[in-house]
Amino acid sequence: MHEMSIALDISEILNEEMEKHPGRRLAKVAISIGELSGIETESLKFALETAFAEQGRKEVEFDVRKAPLKALCKECGCEFEPQASDFRCTRCASGEIEITAGQSLTIETITLQ
Ligand SMILES: [Zn+2]
């Protein structure tokens, strides 16, 4: 399962982060995943909960959201949110675009207790 290996990577990053804060407890993690990343929010959330439960940390809450896709038109310079079915510029209909957001996975915030 693709999401499980991602969840384990995230868990490793979080564990490293927690080592910098001895005595604190991880309470909540907010993650955004790009529309184009091919990751399902619910599957990733489930994989994270499973990975953390296996480490005996069931109390951690995960907030996984889709990040909207953003693109920059190389013709007219406008920034827009392309639809999955149509990647042309919404202003000038040019196909010369650059995807600027929505491709990757980001750990947005980590809440400690
Ligand atoms: Zn344009």
pLDDT of residue 58: 86
Q: If you measure from the C-alpha of residue 106 to the centroid of ligand 1, how many angstroms do you get, rounded to a whole number? A: 27
User: What total number of domains does the chain contain?
Assistant: 1
With respect to residue 14, please indicate whether it lies within any of the assigned structural domains: yes
pLDDT of residue 57: 85
With respect to residue 90, please indicate whether it lies within any of the assigned structural domains: no
Q: If you measure from the C-alpha of residue 55 to the centroid of ligand 1, how many angstroms do you get, rounded to a whole number? A: 49
- SS3 state of residue 15: helix
Q: If you measure from the C-alpha of residue 76 to the centroid of ligand 1, how many angstroms do you get, rounded to a whole number? A: 4
With respect to residue 33, please indicate whether it lies within any of the assigned structural domains: yes
With respect to residue 80, please indicate whether it lies within any of the assigned structural domains: no
Residue-range definition of the domain harbouring residue 63: 2-69+102-112
Q: If you measure from the C-alpha of residue 90 to the centroid of ligand 1, how many angstroms do you get, rounded to a whole number? A: 7
* pTM given for the model: 0.80
With respect to residue 13, please indicate whether it lies within any of the assigned structural domains: yes
What's the pLDDT tens digit per position in 33-42? 998 888 999 9
Burial of 90 (0-12, 13-18, 19+ CB in 10 A): middle
